[in-house]
Amino acid sequence: MEFIVHELYEDIGACKGKAWCGTCHGAIVQGVNHIEDMSDGELKTLQGVSTVPQSRLACQIMLEDNLDGMIFKIIGAD
């Protein structure tokens, strides 16, 4: 999420990465199998903000080598 804030959007991250606000909500376009499972907090927030399949909160995804090639579309900042 820090990469997204620095490079693309300044207006996301209202809860500062605690999975509460949903402003970093995004859809996974490619590479869904490379990300760890959701926490209960992320799942609860997504249930309130999303009807998009394969969506996640960017703040809950750690930037790691196994994400190489993944495509993620931010939709919470619209």
Would you say 20 or 54 has its CB closer to ligand FES? Answer: 20
In the bound state with ligand FES, the residue whose beta carbon lies nearer, of 13 and 50, is 13
In this chain, which residue has its C-beta nearest to ligand FES? 59
The whole-angstrom separation of Cα 70 and Cα 14 is 24
Using CA atoms, how far apart are residues 76 and 78, in angstroms rounded to an integer?
Answer: 6
39 touches 14 (CB < 8 A) = no
Tokens at 58, concatenated: 């960017």
List beta partners, residue 62.
Answer: none
- 58/37 Cα distance (integer angstroms): 13
Minimum CB distance to ligand FES smaller for 45 or for 55 = 45
> Interface residues with ligand FES (CB under 6 A)?
13-15, 17, 19-24, 45, 57, 59
Tell the smallest beta-carbon distance from residue 32 to ligand FES (Å).
Answer: 18
Shortest Å distance, C-beta 8 to ligand FES = 14
